[in-house]
Structure 1
Amino acid sequence: MTDYKKMYFQLAAKVADAMDILLKAQQEGEIEFMDGEPFPESKAVVIQDEGCDYD
């Protein structure tokens, strides 16, 4: 008989490992971005939805 409980916990452990890898990669990318040179040519663009009335 297949041990589904064991299979489930193995899968859950692998998913947790993958999440840890992705989180670490994201954090490293954010650190690298924050330590990088600022972009003087970057601009903020405001996009307003014409269907909404904010007044």
Structure 2
Amino acid sequence: MADKTIVCKDCGKEFLFTESEQAFYKEKGFDNEPQRCADCRKARKQQNNNNRGFRR
């Protein structure tokens, strides 16, 4: 396995999917590569956490 460069589907920036991250994904049984960079994943997670408090 080699490091892979992936384009974030939200912001369009390239980010590195390292060999160790790929091994982690494989170990956990994840079939898909990440689609968002770390910043966009963090922002999306924060947005989801904020939205949970407003559900009725």
**Band the TM-score falls in, shorter-chain normalisation:** 0.3 to 0.5
So what's the TM-score if we normalise by structure 2? 0.36
| More helix per residue | 1
Bigger RCO of structures 1 and 2 (CA < 8 A, at least 6 apart): 2
So what's the TM-score if we normalise by structure 1? 0.36
Structure with max Cα Rg: 1
